[in-house]
Amino acid sequence: MGGGEQKYVQEAFDTNWVAPLGPNVDNFEKSITQFVGGNMHVAALSSGTAAIHLALELLGVTRGDEVICQSFTFSASANPIMYLGATPVFVDSERDTWNISPELLETAIKDRMAHGKKPKAIVAVHLYGMPYKVDEIRKITEKYDIPVVEDSAEALGSAFKDKKCGTFGEIGIFSFNGNKIITTSGGGALVSRKEEVKKRAVFLATQARDDAPHYQHSNVGYNYRMSNILAGIGRGQMEVLQERVGQRRFNYDFYKKHLGHLSQLEFLEEPEGYYCNRWLTCVLTPSFEIREKIRLALLEVDIESRPLWKPMHMQPVFNEFPHYSDGTSEDLFNRGLCLPSGSNLSQNDLERIVELILTKI
Ligand SMILES: Cc1ncc(COP(=O)(O)O)c(C=O)c1O
């Protein structure tokens, strides 16, 4: 926490705005709008997963549709496709940003269309805060006229060509889960250029109540709005967002400076024009065995590190669905490691981790 959060939470208590609406919700949305720029409209929600669910529903995804999803991601990118009764079609990553491969994306679109089904939407992810290939992906999605849900759950504070992540897709989403760069303990947001999309998102997120004095419903709704208490935490957190990005980027620079000379460790660099919030610092090792040697050596002294995300097309829950892969994400999963990356790591913590890795590699 940054320190300012309690003031806003107290305000909510003092004014009795203990509900899923109120001044903190409005002001948290305003501060996100200001931060991302580009006159976007923001709806604060109960989670990033809820935001993806609503985004897909707002794009008209329904039972029997196909939705393309980046395979190399956390399961929450794909689960909402299942909630809607649609079929996920997974697409592998490219090497430069570890995100959805433009070549494989086009192959997948063409192949699905050849099978008689045009994908209804595409979930593209800025994984670990690294922006996906925005220009290349946009070219393809415009060519085939398929909307993008931009999963920026891990990428608040990241940018591509000076434009903030969350503003590139037809609909963008953020997560404020406890492990994210800023948090409301649990929470999310939906971002759109169009005011009516935000209004519709809020309508669906508050049980789809029609405009009537009594309770009248013409749509199935959800209870997905953010609480005014948690939005108070969010307001305080927005005040320290830049500082948090600085701390995460400091971690990356420290690891790179002290471990970057090792031929066995490969860091994910920012291509030109890319600005990564470095939510997590990730490295690639030469083999699964070396990755495990480092991970287990850290674990032995109670330091947690983790393998990279296991691709969705390899997950038992999703492995029956179509996928277009060339082995990239499977290789990243086998050889990659997320190093300790908290915003509160001390110089001493970082030195300890680096020294341990140097002795093990
Ligand atoms: C890539 C990605 N997408 C979606 C989510 C879902 O966000 P939430 O946990 O707020 O539902 C997360 C994080 O949890 C994530 O890492």
User: Comparing C-alpha atoms, which of 317, 316, 306, 303 is closest to residue 279?
Assistant: 306
| Separation of alpha carbons 136 and 180, rounded Å | 27
Query: How far does residue 180's CA lie from ligand 1's centre (Å)?
Result: 9
Q: 302-326 as b/e, with b when 16 or more CB fall inside 10 Å? A: ebebebbbbbbbbeeebeebbbbbe
pLDDT for 357? 97
Q: Cα(352)–Cα(200) distance, rounded to whole angstroms? A: 50
Instruction: For residue 242, report the distance from its CA to the centre of ligand 1, in Å.
Output: 20
pLDDT score for 294:
97
pLDDT of 108 above 90:
yes
pLDDT, residue 360, reads 84
Residues forming a β-bridge with 284: 266, 336
In percent, how much of the chain has pLDDT > 70?
100
| Closest by CA position to 133, among listed 88, 107, 95 | 95
In which band, very low, low, confident or very high, does the pLDDT at 162 lie, cut at 50, 70 and 90? very high
- Kindly state the tokens that stand for 40: 């976007």
In this prediction, residues 223-242 reach a mean pLDDT of 98
Residue of minimum CA distance from atom 15 in ligand 1: 153
pLDDT band at 189 (very low <50, low <70, confident <90, very high): very high
User: What pLDDT digit, counting tens, does each position of 7-42 carry?
Assistant: 999 999 999 999 999 999 999 999 999 999 999 999
Residue 219 DSSP symbol: S
Q: Compute and round to an integer the Cα radius of gyration of the chain.
A: 21
Q: Quick one: which H or E segment has residue 25?
A: helix 23-36
- The single-letter code of the amino acid at 283 is V
Question: Looking at residues 281-305, what average pLDDT do you find?
Answer: 97
Is the model's pLDDT at 263 over the cut of 90? yes
Per-residue model confidence (pLDDT) at position 100: 98
Ligand 1 centre distance from Cα of residue 50 (Å): 9
Residue 204 confidence (pLDDT) above 90: yes
Per the prediction, the chain carries an average pLDDT of 98
CA distance 318 to 88: 8
pLDDT of residue 34: 98
Residue 339 C-alpha to ligand 1 middle, in angstroms? 19
Strand partners, 45: 188, 225
pLDDT tens track for 42-60: 999 999 999 999 999 999 9
Minimum CA distance residue for ligand 1 atom 7 = 48
Query: Is residue 136 very low, low, confident or very high in pLDDT (cuts 50, 70, 90)?
Result: very high
Residues lining ligand 1, CB < 6 A?
47-49, 73-74, 76-77, 125, 151, 153-154, 175, 177, 188
Write down the pLDDT at residue 27: 98
- State yes or no: pLDDT of 361 exceeds 90: no
Of the residues 177, 180, 309, 338, which should be mutated to test ligand 1's pocket, given the most ligand atoms within 8 Å of the CB?
Answer: 177
**Mean pLDDT value across residues 263-289:** 97
